[in-house]
Copies of this chain bind each other. A is one copy, B any other.
Amino acid sequence: MDIASVQSRLREFVEERDWAQYHSPKNLSMALAVEASELMEIFQWVGSEESRNVIEHPEELRKIEDEVADVFVYTLRIADVLGIDLEKAVWAKIEKNANKYPSEVEHRWSL
């Protein structure tokens, strides 16, 4: 995906509506959290394993696609207004996680 061209389209979208005034880092981070939460709401009352079945529910899947796109849009916007190089950041993060959780050591989560 050409992230820069999506970001450029989003910037244009925001300028056409004079919305740059609303797109501060603070507000964008709120909008991102709100969208992430709307995605989460879909899985609120179902079990973890059960949530995998969503793949067979076209209607829910469409809703999920919608929310994931919202999350993606705000993530790209935040990166854009703050001049963050997303590609560099994501690879750096993967390396950091690989060091934090070496694959030779077992990591399990349980209660």
Contact = CB atoms under 8 A, between A and B. Distances in A.
Interface residues of A, number: 78
A55 B27 contact: no
A13 B59 CA distance: 30
- Interface-centre pick from A13, A36, A46, A70 (highest chain B CB count, 10 A): A36
A38 B70 CA distance: 16
Contacts of A16: 103
Interface string A5-42: 01001100100111100101111011111101111111
A80 to B, nearest CB: 11
Given A26-B47, A47-B26, A54-B25, A93 B111 contact: no
A72 B54 contact: no
8 contacts: A9-B94, A39-B78, A55-B82, A57-B111, A68-B84, A68-B89, A71-B71, A72-B90
